[in-house]
Amino acid sequence: MATAADLGFWTVPLAIFAGAIRVSTPFLLVSLGECLTERSGRINLGLEGTLVMGAMSGYAVSYLSGSPWLGVLVAGLVGSLFGAVHAAICNMPKVNDIALGIALMLFGTGLAFFLGKGFIQPKAPNLPAIPLGWWSDVEQIRSALDINVLFLFGLAMTPAILFFLNRTRWGLVLRTVGDSEDAARAAGFSVNRVRLFATMAGGFLAGVGGSFLSLYYPGSWNEGLSSGQGITAVALVIFARWNPLYCFYASLLFGGAGALGPALQAVGITHGYYLFNAAPYILTLGIMILASSSTRRFSGAPGELSVTR
Amino acid sequence: MPGFAVRLLGASEALVLPLAALAASMVLFGIFVTLAGVDPVEVFALMYKGAFGTAFSIQNTLQRAAPLVLAALCTALPAQLGLVIIGGEGALVMGGLTAVAAALALPAGTPPLAVQIAMAAAGMAAGGAWIALSGALRHFRGVNETISSLLLTYIAIAILNHMVSGPMRDPASLNKPSTPPIGDANMIGSIPGMDVHWGLVFGIVFCIGAWVLMDRTTFGFAARMVGGNVRAAAMSGLPVGRLLIITCFIAGAAAGLAGMVEVAAVHGAANAPLAAGYGYTGILVAFLARQNPLAVIPVAILLGGIDASGGLLQRRLDLPDATVMVLQGIIFVVILASETLYGRFRVFNPKEAA
């Protein structure tokens, strides 16, 4: 069995690869969900709160029932419930979707901390990983290729959502609602109902993304579990140009950036640990600065989306 | 009906509706704690006692209201220009950290007043720069200010953790990393006659100043014009970018001063508890006050009271400390949902009804 020393420098890229898969999973799920919501012309900043609620409820259900899969499902359902609340309140006239998102972010986080108080200590069964590294003798390669199931779920959802948006009738309805309310009404679609479903679907994926945090990596529930992954994923959708495929690439990039700190720490470079942990936020901000423009709108931006106006 | 009565009725809408929303939130919260297995009457009685019931609790409430007043301005001022800034926590953290750095950089023996002025100036400059960056990114690059200000908050907290556990760490702080203390002599004291530090006075003065600036000067008029319609303001020759960045700087300076107050009146050094969430509660205060700098003061005292009562709920009823967060979240959601009611009631607009 090889040890860390044998791989030398290669430990770092390998750890970043493994970390990128691990860390990117919540980014991927939340951004795919938010992509659906934003294509319908509304932004849900409350996904940060949804993520934390998903993490808490998934962990609690896994602990109480003994089945992590049931936990993932309940996390998704709780997420779509939060999505439904966001959509229902935003459907009333004169309510600002950005402000309501901030409110639900605080509410979701508070509720998760309140209900999750009793689940900090106990150990819930976690989700399994698929060992794709069985062919290798090297311990690090094997552990790096232990791919979690929810990443594969996100990987499968990416083309599915792309197909849904561009090749199905419902996808067309969703895009019409997002690009022009007037056109959608003229065609006889219910703008509010479409947005309700789009926000609920987005909430479901964000809830599942939250359950990944508590049920796989780091794999336990505590109050410091999410540190802005939800909000970073919302920003990520904007520079992924509302395209699910770009969301996937961007999530991997983010995962790699997020894995940098722990990977360097593993080989003994602990200096600046907190600064490396901030890498995803610095990266998001940098890319947003490069990708935005003060004079023109984003290409591909849904016409009814308030953030890009 | 005489004209002033019509105006009074119109203005009362902005008071009655938030109060009704608060009452509705309290009912929802009552249902929530009932479901959690606690008697709601007991909860409300304890909350009143913990917030305003005794001289001690009133002082505790006012102590917490001070940073809230300042942090709320960080959201309320840019809102006059139509910006939604939610990065008050980041500006507060940067302000507190920079204030400590300023105090530590001055040679020993500097008169306390000079140290305090230097700390306030440094804190306000750092907080102001932090939010001005969001404003500048919005103006020059079209970056959404809500998201950039929140990202800057996470970066600010990372910088705080880095500085506190590395370059600025006091070797004497073992388990909980902290910067060296600024020294007892340099702490800002209490307002004479009460056990509340001067931060509250700073906050109230800042609010009145902000109100005068926004409501009684040409700068404020221009700023509110930008908030009404950016294109129209630019067409009529207003320097939109300068207004945006200066307002964001003042807003960030308020939150930075909150950080300086927290450091110089409460903690005595910069450490992780500096990011205690006042910046986030400040967003709620600003929205509840309908972005009015003067209304921020009573709302901050109310929210400070809710915050202060959390400890009592925890001790007496064994409720989690997040109970207060749940209540704040409910209030926030209900207040925003109540926006839809403005203009719906004829009582407030008798002219249109006639």
Residue A228 inside a domain? The answer is yes
Chain A to chain B Cβ contacts (< 8 Å): 145
- % chain A with pLDDT above 70: 95
pLDDT along chain A (309 residues), means of 10: 57 82 93 96 94 96 95 97 97 91 93 93 88 80 84 96 96 94 93 96 97 92 85 85 93 87 76 83 89 73 77
Q: Tell me: do B296 and B343 sit in the same domain.
A: no
B286 and B332, same structural domain? no
Q: Which residue from B minimizes the CA distance to A87?
A: B337
* B positions 284-323 inside 8 Å of A (CB): 284, 287, 320-323
Across the interface, do A113 and B332 touch by the CB < 8 Å criterion?
no
Whether residue A285 and residue B337 make contact (CB cut-off 8 A), yes or no, is no
Residue B142 tokens, joined: 């079209």
Does A181 fall in a domain? yes
Q: What is the pLDDT of residue A58?
A: 96
**B178 bridge partner residues:** B271
Number of domains in chain B: 2
Q: Where residue B145 sits, what CATH number does that domain have? A: 1.10.3470
Which strand (E) or helix (H) includes residue A46? none
The predicted-structure confidence for B156-202, as pLDDT tens digits, reads as follows: 999 999 999 888 999 888 888 999 999 988 999 888 878 889 999 99
Q: Do B165 and A95 touch (CB under 8 A)?
A: no
Distance, first Cα to last Cα, chain B: 11
The pLDDT of residue B354 is 45
Residue span of the structural domain in which B115 resides: 61-318
Residue A273 belongs to a domain: no
Q: Which residues of B touch A104 (CB under 8 A)?
A: 329, 333
Instruction: Supply the pLDDT for residue A278.
Output: 87
Are B201 and B331 part of one and the same domain?
A: no
Q: Count H helices, E strands: chain A?
A: 14, 2
User: Among partner residues B280, B283, B340, which is closest to A95 by beta-carbon distance?
Assistant: B340
Is residue A243 included in any domain, yes or no? no
What are the angstrom distances between the C-alpha of A103 and each of A106, B139, B328? 5, 26, 9
Of A107, A231, A271, the CB nearest to B147: A231
Q: Is residue A269 part of a domain?
A: no
Nearest to B284 by CA among B72, B40, B90: B72
Alpha-carbon span B354 to B344, nearest angstrom: 15
B157 and B17 fall within a common domain: no
B135 lies in the same domain as B279? yes
Nearest to B340 among A92, A277, A284 (CB): A92
Structure tokens, A138 = 């090297």
- Residue B92 confidence (pLDDT): 98
Query: A50 phi and psi, to 5 degrees?
Result: -60, -40
What is the per-residue pLDDT for A1? 42
Q: Which of A117, A272, A281 faces B154 most closely, judged by CB atoms?
A: A281
Cβ density class B195-230: b for 16+ within 10 Å, e for less: ebbbbbebbbebbeebbebbeeeeebebbbbbbeeb
CB proximity B198 to A under 8 Å: no
Determine what percent of chain B is predicted with pLDDT higher than 90: 78
Indicate if B89 and B11 belong to the same structural domain.
no
Res A121: pLDDT = 86
Chain B residue numbers touching A278 (CB-CB < 8 A): 154-155, 158-159
Which tens digits make up the pLDDT trace of B266-312? 999 999 999 988 999 999 999 999 999 999 999 999 999 999 999 89
- The answer to the question of residue B72 being in a domain is yes
pLDDT at residue B106 is higher than 90? yes
Contact B125, B256 (CB under 8 A): yes
Express each pLDDT in B333-346 by its tens digit. 999 999 899 888 87
Q: What are the φ/ψ torsions at residue B271 (nearest 5 degrees)?
A: -155, 180
Q: B339 and B254 in one domain?
A: no
> Residue type at B56?
F
- Do the chains contact at B328 and A231, CB–CB below 8 Å? no
pLDDT computed for residue A297 by the predictor: 67
DSSP line for A206-245: HHHHHHHHHHTSS-S--TTS-SSHHHHHHHHHHHTTT-HH
Q: What is the residue range of A167's domain?
A: 27-235
Please name the member of B155, B333, B340 whose beta carbon is closest to the beta carbon of A103: B333
What does the radius of gyration of chain B's CA atoms come to, in whole angstroms?
Answer: 21
Number of domains making up chain A:
1
Q: Is residue B72 located within the same domain as residue B114?
A: yes
Residues B68 and B94 in one domain: yes
Domain annotation covers residue B56: no
Domain membership flag for residue A279: no
Residue type, A183: A
- In this prediction the ipTM stands at 0.91
Grade residue B327 by pLDDT with cuts at 50, 70 and 90: very high
